Structure 1
Amino acid sequence: MSRRPLPYPELILYNGKIRTFANQNPSCEALACSGSRIVATGKSDDVRRFAGPETRMIDLQGRTAIPGLTDTHVHLSEKGTAEMELVDCRDFYVEVHSVADILQRLANAAATAPRGSWLIAHGSPMQDFRIADHRFPDKHDLDRVCPDNPVTISFGAHVTIANSLALAAAKITRDTPDPAGGHIKHDSQTGEPTGELHERAQLIVKKVAPEFNYLQLKDGIVFALNQCLERGVTTVHDIVRYAEPVRAYQEIYKEGRMHARVSILPRVIESMIESKSLTELGLITGFGNEWLRIGGVKMSIDGGITGRNACFHEPYENDEHNHGIIRIQQDELNHTVQVCHDAGLRCCVHAIGDKAFDMALDAYENAIEHSPRKDHRHRIEHMGNWLATPKLMQRMVRSGIVAIPNIAFAYYIGDAILDCVGERRLTKAFPFRTLLKNNVIIAGGSDSPGYWPVDPLRDIACAASRKMRWGEVWIPEERITVAEAFAMHTTTAAWVGFEERDKGTLEVGKLADIVVLADDPFAIEPEKIKDLKVELTLVGGEIKYQA
């Protein structure tokens, strides 16, 4: 039994199967918590002896407890309010099977909206692949059902469709040039914009559309964090692009409404926040406390796969002129990475296509060569989804770069990605077994919410079983073990967050972030892990969610 001296613990969990995920003593029957930390672990009878008159006792009745889960890549503050306020046309959430279904939901919203007010909706990424029409709606479709309201509908983070009133408000015409790093789609016959906007072109219309007010933003963050707790998530790494979410998080914490922990990743290009805002203040990765801290900085080299904008050396299938979009040129990328690296800020660089992978590694290698620093823990977001060549993996390991793959992409839209990228490039898609074999460090990030819910249990099930939502067992030789899949959201995720001394395992001295499951994930078929019920989520030894 492990323990540290204490008067009385505030909470004891006993009579359970507690999987600590620690190398020594990987399981125990009971643990005690005091002052937000674990103070004892061991057999039930031994730990229960520490109970005092006010100690809360929870009989696990044989249920399994595990460390709190971490999602290392979310857009929670930006999407939390959207979950509450936007017109929902996402086929992963609601019954939408055609363009007509989308239009009906918009028409229903327009029926109760004041004339001239904006309607803002969201669909799912690559929804054009799955619906019966095999296309997105265009401005003419939106105009028919919403003639009196400006309308935009985003399909993931990389494609937005606007109707004529919204285009007019943004002053987008047939003569509007593509912005750097973006694309305005035009009708091949008339030259008029179709309403489809990619990457930075979306910002033109977003600048004139109304934003949520500050109170809505705060309530949306609280709502989204509470949704995380329902799936056992106690820590997220949240990407932010302007000051209000940063302030909102601080106020929510002071108000006592922050029930999960957050590492903020400020975006420093295509953002209202610049890298010098952080460097001139002298802020470094880890600034903050156990609840809210700076986890690094974010920047995006290429577009998203869901908008067919990720940048590859070879073109997309059946689109020989489309290699994707570069949003940051190499010189700007090198400079920004160098400045942040020198300032003690960990970089998290979005790169989805193989050309972007090379650019990211070039920038990292340049920075490390000029200013060697061993424990930087720089990341490439989305690396590990595909095209992990031996040369690329060697470069990753040599420079100590962490990969943040997104198995949720495979689970939800792998079939659509196959259609646009082609089987040859996806022969070894989501090659987690290969990555681990080659000593590449991988941690799990969902890119949620908005696309799909934050749910590491779903992602763990997928990584260990390779069973996809669209029905196929995809590349089964790249399965990893259940333990390896959990590590991506516990022990490895804690290390990636510079928090391995506080999180990732249930050991004495660490934070009492604990999840109680209805069944043992190591005793069931891996694909069933996604269906496990979370019965309790504790953060700092306090119950923050109870089913």
Structure 2
Amino acid sequence: MQLDLIVENARLITGDPARPSASRLGVWRGVVVGVDEELDGLTARERLDARGRTVLAGFNDAHAHSVWFGQSRLDVDLEGARTAEEVHRRVRARAAELDPGAWVTCTGFDPGHLTGPQPDRDSLDAAASGRPVLIRHNTGHAVTVSGAVLLLAGVGEQVLQQPEGGRIITDAAGRPTGLLEETAMSLVTRLLQPESHEHIGACLARASQEYAAEGITSVTDAGVAGGWIGHSPLEFGAYQRARDAGLLRTRFQTMVTLDALRPVDGHPDDGTHLTLDAGVRTGVGDEWLQIGPAKVFTDGSMLGQTAAMTEDYCGHGHGRGYLQQDAGEMRRACLGAAAAGWALALHAIGDAALDFALDVIAEARGRFGRPVMPHRVEHGGVVRDDQVARMAELEVVMATQPNFISAFGGSVRERIGPERAALSYPAGRLLRAGLVLPGSSDRPVAGGRPLEVIQDFVLRRTENGEQYGPDAERLTVAEALHAYTVGSAEATGWGGRKGRLAAGQLADFTVLSEDPRAVPSDQIAAIDVVATAVGGEFVHGGL
């Protein structure tokens, strides 16, 4: 038998508890066939010398937004802007390059780190000389727009009715300021959508290229085809076209938003299912492109104080936040999807939203059994100990993002106080309770390079360098690596097929200049990604 590839002289971190380390890796037809002596007597079409570098399974980001991320590379970047005038300067510069009437779209805006007044409808009108301006907040749960955009969206000088699950922010006189929260964003985003297959494909290609350079081989995109997060009702088709055109260097799983599903009648014995036409549901696809859970937005963000909490926020006048939809309607829709065979992935940042999410999952499990891949809860901004125990009982996966801590943990702590911050974005508690813990970034809400997120799992330091929460929530480097490989595979229904460098698993691996376990914890992010391979084929760098 001749293999396609043998990598030699490597420091393999296999992720396999039966054989945690090795020095040789064999690949045939995109799959690992063995390591070390399991390869004795076998030849290979190609042999490569890793020169003592560290090789481990490819990183798997279990919660990202790739089209949005790719799109952000084309928008005006507001990251690092600390004053409204700096925002206006960048908007003004882009507007000068555009034709009259063309939109100025911006990303990476963090209003919590601005000094002085916020940009508003009038200041943006002036900066862009009347062109429409759309600023996406880094949380993804709010936008700030110019007066020209409000006019196009049909938002008048007075707000007569607020949308369910969102808010049009007004000033003391009742005039809209240009800030739109949660579901109110759809008033504007619908003006720019649906986006074309070509545009979505270009965004995916850009994102996938960056993923490969960072050692990422698999990504789950948390929301396509509907809601405020989707880009087109035909979005999954755009992924297929991008895959067919050879634009993707990464394996993708997509979560279809709950509102993209519709009632579909079948035989009287089968009833009516809330699903996609033809009964398409969670699990359809292959190792390159697959439909994952149905994505459900139960609440908002802590930075915007729209996440649903059981206690008030700290002195910011937002009460306890809110659910994005009537709880009864949301429950019925979730159970309708679960009845049709969908796994559920419920965005729940506040602890009140998490209570709701776990109630829904418990009912779905009780009525319809275990789904084809785990039910999930996304983010976990505040998670009480009783909720951790309940997630373990229900076999729920929680995808939490430690990079939120380094990006804006200090701002979050100001809003929720130190006691709730100690319960915020858990990691160590989840592992001790026996939960599957994946690695994920929610990119582009915050930076998503896996080595940076792994460092955040280990350090848990805020943007000001302060410790966030108790030490017991910090992971070891080995635990963080496990989360970003094995944990993510198990969370996305691919446990036993990827995440480890062991016989029978997909030959997805990354080559690092150094072993993350052997460098100081604050230098993990500085390690270079030398190469990335998917199915044994290099998609970045090489040996």
Q: TM-score, normalised by structure 1?
A: 0.91
Picking from 130, 150, 175, the partner of 2:113 is 130
Match of 2:97 in 1: 112
Does the 8 A contact of 2:141 with 2:301 survive in 1?
A: yes
Match of 2:377 in 1: 380
Q: How far did residue 112 of structure 1 move?
A: 1.9
Match of 2:268 in 1: none
Alignment of 1:446-485 (within 5 A): 446-449=441-444, 451-475=445-469, 476-485=471-480
Match of 2:423 in 1: 428
Q: How far did residue 250 of structure 1 move?
A: 0.7
Q: How far did residue 424 of structure 1 move?
A: 2.2
* Cα distance, 1:373–1:209 mapped onto 2, change above 3 Å: closer
1:140 aligns with 2:122: yes
Q: How far did residue 211 of structure 1 move?
A: 5.9
Distance in 2, Cα, partners of 1:457 & 1:513: 17
Does the 8 A contact of 1:162 with 1:195 survive in 2?
A: yes
Distance in 2, Cα, partners of 1:234 & 1:161: 34
Alignment of 1:171-182 (within 5 A): 171-173=154-156, 174-182=158-166
Secondary structure of residue in 1 paired with 2:452: helix
Alignment coverage as a number of residue pairs? 523
Match of 1:158 in 2: 141
Picking from 55, 59, 75, the partner of 2:65 is 75
Distance in 2, Cα, partners of 1:237 & 1:376: 13
Distance in 2, Cα, partners of 1:376 & 1:339: 17
1:517 aligns with 2:512: yes
1:535 aligns with 2:530: yes
* Cα distance, 1:210–1:502 mapped onto 2, change above 3 Å: closer
1:398 aligns with 2:393: yes
Distance in 1, Cα, partners of 2:263 & 2:324: 17
Does the 8 A contact of 1:334 with 1:366 survive in 2?
A: no
Distance in 2, Cα, partners of 1:175 & 1:130: 28
Q: How far did residue 333 of structure 1 move?
A: 2.3
Q: Which amino acid aligns with 2:214?
A: R
Match of 1:4 in 2: none
Distance in 2, Cα, partners of 1:284 & 1:165: 40
Q: TM-score, normalised by structure 2?
A: 0.92
Does the 8 A contact of 1:180 with 1:327 survive in 2?
A: yes
Q: How far did residue 48 of structure 1 move?
A: 7.3
Does the 8 A contact of 2:439 with 2:485 survive in 1?
A: no
Q: Which amino acid aligns with 2:374?
A: R
* Cα distance, 1:321–1:417 mapped onto 2, change above 3 Å: closer
Does the 8 A contact of 1:118 with 1:210 survive in 2?
A: no
Alignment of 1:250-269 (within 5 A): 250-269=240-259
Distance in 2, Cα, partners of 1:143 & 1:81: 23
Match of 1:326 in 2: 323
Q: In angstroms, what is the RMSD of aligned CA positions?
A: 1.9
Query: Which runs of no fewer than 5 residues in structure 1 stay unpaired?
Result: 1-6
Q: How far did residue 123 of structure 1 move?
A: 2.9
Distance in 1, Cα, partners of 2:537 & 2:393: 41
Match of 2:229 in 1: none
Q: Which amino acid aligns with 2:502?
A: E
The more displaced of 318-327 and 96-105 is 318-327
Secondary structure of residue in 1 paired with 2:180: strand
Secondary structure of residue in 1 paired with 2:441: coil
Once the two structures are superposed, residues 119-153 of structure 1 have per-residue CA deviations (whole angstroms, 9 ceiling, x without a partner) of: 111233xx2222222x5311121122123211111
Secondary structure of residue in 1 paired with 2:106: strand
Q: How far did residue 49 of structure 1 move?
A: 4.9
Match of 2:213 in 1: 230
Picking from 143, 167, 170, the partner of 2:150 is 167
Match of 2:298 in 1: 301
Does the 8 A contact of 1:12 with 1:48 survive in 2?
A: no
Q: How far did residue 210 of structure 1 move?
A: 6.2
Distance in 2, Cα, partners of 1:392 & 1:479: 19
Q: How far did residue 473 of structure 1 move?
A: 2.9
Q: How far did residue 392 of structure 1 move?
A: 1.1
Q: How far did residue 171 of structure 1 move?
A: 1.1
Secondary structure of residue in 1 paired with 2:82: coil
Does the 8 A contact of 1:349 with 1:360 survive in 2?
A: yes
Distance in 1, Cα, partners of 2:366 & 2:189: 39
* Cα distance, 1:205–1:280 mapped onto 2, change above 3 Å: closer
Distance in 2, Cα, partners of 1:371 & 1:116: 52
Distance in 2, Cα, partners of 1:377 & 1:303: 23
Does the 8 A contact of 2:217 with 2:250 survive in 1?
A: yes
1:184 aligns with 2:168: yes
The more displaced of 278-287 and 245-254 is 278-287
Distance in 1, Cα, partners of 2:468 & 2:407: 12
Match of 1:50 in 2: 42
Q: Which amino acid aligns with 1:107?
A: R
* Cα distance, 1:452–1:512 mapped onto 2, change above 3 Å: same
Secondary structure of residue in 1 paired with 2:258: coil
Identity among equivalent pairs (%): 28
Query: Which runs of no fewer than 5 residues in structure 2 stay unpaired?
Result: 226-231, 265-273
* Cα distance, 1:278–1:210 mapped onto 2, change above 3 Å: closer
Q: How far did residue 279 of structure 1 move?
A: 5.0
Does the 8 A contact of 1:301 with 1:329 survive in 2?
A: no
* Cα distance, 1:320–1:194 mapped onto 2, change above 3 Å: closer
Distance in 2, Cα, partners of 1:64 & 1:326: 45
Q: How far did residue 275 of structure 1 move?
A: 6.9
Once the two structures are superposed, residues 46-92 of structure 1 have per-residue CA deviations (whole angstroms, 9 ceiling, x without a partner) of: 8475234xx222111110000011111111123323322x122122x
1:416 aligns with 2:406: no
Picking from 75, 87, 91, the partner of 1:102 is 87
